[in-house]
């Protein structure tokens, strides 16, 4: 297991559950991880459970993955139980992927 090199100060977010508007509200209030925000001064730790209950699962997970790609040394994503295929199948994200992307969640 690789232990990430998270440096203080760090902003910690948990249990987003596809609630993209709340994530955007958090970023508006406490600044966003961007060149115009505070990525130079803060690491960001997201504790998992990014999808499954909210209306904007794809937007939420895509934004987090894009942030991780853009800022790999400042964005840290931990996997929660809602990032499991079996949980996705029963709690909504799998259905959203089928409906919006035509994706087969049963395919490896």
The count of domains in the chain is: 1
105 noted as active-site residue: no
Q: Is 76 part of a structural domain of the chain? A: yes
- Taking the model in full, what pTM does it have? 0.85
Q: Is 108 part of a structural domain of the chain? A: no
State the angle between helix axes of 93-101 and 57-70 in degrees (0 to 180), rounded to the nearest 10. Answer: 90
Per-residue pLDDT tens over the stretch 32-67: 999 888 999 999 999 988 888 788 999 999 999 999
Q: Is 45 part of a structural domain of the chain? A: yes
Residue 32 DSSP SS3 = coil
Residue from 27, 50, 82, 96 carrying the catalytic annotation: 82
How far is residue 60's CA from residue 54's CA, in Å, rounded to a whole number? 9
Q: Is 2 part of a structural domain of the chain? A: no
How far is residue 84's CA from residue 88's CA, in Å, rounded to a whole number? 6
- The mean pLDDT of 86-106, rounded to a whole number, is 75
Question: Which CATH number is 71's domain given?
Answer: 3.60.21.10
Q: Is 4 part of a structural domain of the chain? A: no
Q: Is 85 part of a structural domain of the chain? A: yes
Contact 7, 41 (CB under 8 A): no
Q: Which domain, by its residues, includes 15? A: 10-101
Nearest to 40, CA basis, from 2, 77, 7: 7
């Amino acid at each position: 297991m690789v232990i990430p090199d998270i440096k203080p100060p760090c902003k910690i977010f948990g249990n987003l559950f596809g609630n993209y508007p709340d994530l955007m509200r958090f970023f508006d209030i406490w600044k966003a991880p961007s060149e115009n925000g505070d990525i130079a001064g803060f690491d960001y730790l997201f504790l998992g459970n990014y999808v499954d209950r909210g209306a904007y699962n794809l937007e939420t997970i895509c934004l987090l993955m894009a942030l991780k790609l853009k800022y790999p040394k400042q964005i840290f994503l931990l996997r929660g139980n809602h990032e499991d295929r079996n949980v996705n199948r029963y709690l909504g994200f799998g259905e959203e992927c089928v409906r919006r992307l035509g994706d087969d969640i049963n395919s490896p």
